[in-house]
Structure 1
Amino acid sequence: MTLLERVLHHFFPRAGKALAVIHTLFIKRALWESMRTGIPLDGHGQPAPWITFPALDYLSRLDFSQAHVLEYGGGQSSLWWAARAKTVTTVEGRKEWAERIRRNAPGNLSLIGPVEGLDYVESPLKGGLMFEVIVIDGFLRLECARAALPFLVEHGLLILDNSDWNAPACRWLREQGMMQIDFHGFGPVNDYTWCTSVFTRRQSAVPHRGDPWTEAVYGNLVQPA
C-alpha cells in the first residue's frame, strides 16, 4: 500500500477503498496499460487473452501442459495459450492479426489464416485432431461451435468469449447437454464489463436459465447477436 493510500484509508476510509480498487484494476491488472496500447497484457507486461479477468483467473489455475488447443480468433491469447499448452492451432480471419501472430509464433503454435467463410470454420478440423480446449473468440461463433464440438474430447473445455452477445451459440451448446459456467466482469482494453463462458460436458442438476446480462445491473455493453 502506498503512502497516499495509507493516509486516505486513515482519514477518508471510503476514498481510500476507492483508490485501492482503482490501483488494483488499473495497475495490478494492467487495465490502464492495455487501454492505452489496445493490447491485452498482464501486470508483468506479458501477453494476456482478451477475456474477462474472472475467466482468466480461473483458466490460469488449470494445467494445460498436455492439452491440444484450438483457437478461433487469435492475438495475444495465442501466445498465452502457447506458453501453457502442448500445441495450439489458431484460425485467424484478419490479415493484420495473422501477420502479427505469425511473426511471434513459437514452435508449438500453428496458424491458419487469414481465411474466411467455411474455410475459417472447417480448416482446423480437416486433420481429425481432437482437442482438450476449444476457444471461440472470432467470426461465425455459432457455426464454429457447431462444427468444432464433435472434436472436443469428452473431458474438454469449450470457451466462448462475449457470450452475453452470443445467446444463440450459448443456447445451442446448452441444448447439446453442455453446462455453461459464466465469468462476468472487467477485462483487458475495454471500459465495460462482459462475459466469458466455459462449457463442459459434466452434467449439472441446476440448468442455466439463459437470462441476459443487463447493463443497468452489471455495467456491461450489451449488443444483440
Structure 2
Amino acid sequence: MKVRRPSMFAQISRGLRLIYSERSFLAQQGYTESIKQKRPCKPDGTPLPWMNYQVVHFLEQRLRKDHNLFEYGSGYSTQFYARHAGTVTSVEHNRDWYNILNKNKPENVELLFRDIGDINGYCQAIAGGDRRFDIIVVDGRERLQCMEVAVDFLSEQGVVLLDDSSRKRYQDGRSAMKRRGFRELDFIGIKPGGLSTHQTTLFYKENNCLGL
C-alpha cells in the first residue's frame, strides 16, 4: 500500500499554523509577538531573556524573591530577573546600550558599566564588594573568564547559568566547572523569534537554591 505524503503546500500550511495559531505552543509563549517586536517577549510584550523557552520556563518556576542574582550581559533579561529575583546586579560593556537600559531600570536592579578592555573591569565587576550571589548568569562577553571569576562569589547554595553552552569555545569552561565538583543540567530548545535550537546549562551542587 502506497503511503501518501503531505504536499508541500500542506506542510507549509502546518508550519504557519504552528507559528501563528493562537492555540499553538509558540504563540502562547510569545514567539509570534517576539518576531513582531524584534525582541524577546511574552504575548503581552513583557520582556523575556533571549534564551530557549525551556530554561525560561524553569527559571520562572524556581527563582524567588530571596535570591540575589548577578548577570554578565544586560538586556531584556535584566527586567525578567528583576520580576522574579530579589536583587539583580548586572554589568554591561556597551555604553550606548547601558545608557538606554539605565533610563528605565527596575528599582531592585543595580546596573554597572565596565569597559571590556579593562583587565579589572568587566569580568571583575562581580568583585566590587563582599556580596555572594545565589545565581550568576554568564550571558555576555568573555564568558570563560567570567565563569572562572564567578565561582568565587557564589553563595553556599549558588548556581551558575551559562547560555549558548554548546558552543565549542565554551567547552573548557564546562570542564573546569566539573573539576570544581559542579553537576550539569542542560536545557535545549528554540529562542524567542529564532529558528534553530540553542542550549543553556545550569551548574549546581547539592542543596542549591533552585532545588535541583
Q: Above 0.5 in TM-score?
A: yes
Alpha-carbon separation, structure 2, partners of 1:133 and 1:122:
16
Whole-angstrom CA distance in 2 between matches of 1:104 and 1:154: 32
Structure 1, unaligned runs of 5 or more: 1-12, 204-225
Deviation at 1:14, TM superposition (A): 8.8
Equivalent in the alignment of 1:187 = 191
C-alpha distance in structure 2 between counterparts of 1:190 and 1:169, whole Å: 25
Q: Does 1:163 align with 2:165?
A: yes
Structure 1 match to 2:35 = 35
Q: Secondary structure at the match of 1:184?
A: strand
Q: Distance in 1 between matches of 2:151 and 2:29?
A: 32
Cα-to-partner distance string for 1:71-107 (whole Å, 9 max, x where unaligned)? 0001000011111211110001112321121011011
Query: How many Å apart are 1:125 and its aligned residue?
Result: 1.4
The answer to whether residue 18 in structure 2 is matched with residue 21 in structure 1 is yes
1:151 aligns with 2:153: yes
Q: Unmatched 5+ residue regions in structure 2? A: 1-9, 208-212
Q: Across the two proteins, how many residue pairs are aligned to each other?
A: 191
Give the superposition deviation at 1:191: 2.1
Residues 78 and 101, structure 1, Cα contact 8 Å, conserved in 2: no
Residue 155 of structure 1 deviates from its aligned partner by 1.4
CA distance in 2, matches of 1:86, 1:32: 30
Map of 1:134 onto structure 2: 136
Equivalent residue, structure 2, for 1:125: 127
Task: Tell me if structure 2 keeps the 8 A contact 1:98–1:114.
Answer: no
Q: Note the C-alpha offset of 1:172.
A: 1.4
Give the Cα–Cα distance (whole angstroms) in 1 for the partners of residues 178 and 38 of structure 2.
Answer: 33
Q: Name the CA distance, whole Å, in 1 between partners of 2:188 and 2:105.
A: 29
**Cα deviation 1:162-195 (Å, max 9, x = unaligned):** 0011222212111211111000000113221110
Instruction: Report deviation, 1:150.
Output: 1.2
Could you tell me how far 1:25 is from its partner in structure 2? 4.6
Paired position in structure 2 for 1:223: none
Using the alignment, how far apart are the partners of 1:32 and 1:161 within structure 2?
A: 22
**Following the alignment from structure 2 to structure 1, what is the Cα–Cα distance between the partners of residues 178 and 25?**
32
Q: CA deviation at 1:151?
A: 0.8
The residue type equivalent to 1:113 in the other structure is F
Structure 1 length-normalised TM:
0.78
Tell me: CA distance 1:178–1:161, structure 2 relative to 1, closer, same or farther (3 Å): same
> For the Cα contact (< 8 Å) 2:70–2:90, is it kept in 1?
yes
The alpha-carbon distance between structure 1 residues 87 and 193, as it changes in their structure 2 partners (threshold 3 A), is same
Aligned partner of residue 115 in structure 2, secondary structure: coil
* Sequence identity percentage: 28
Moved more, 15-24 or 49-58: 15-24
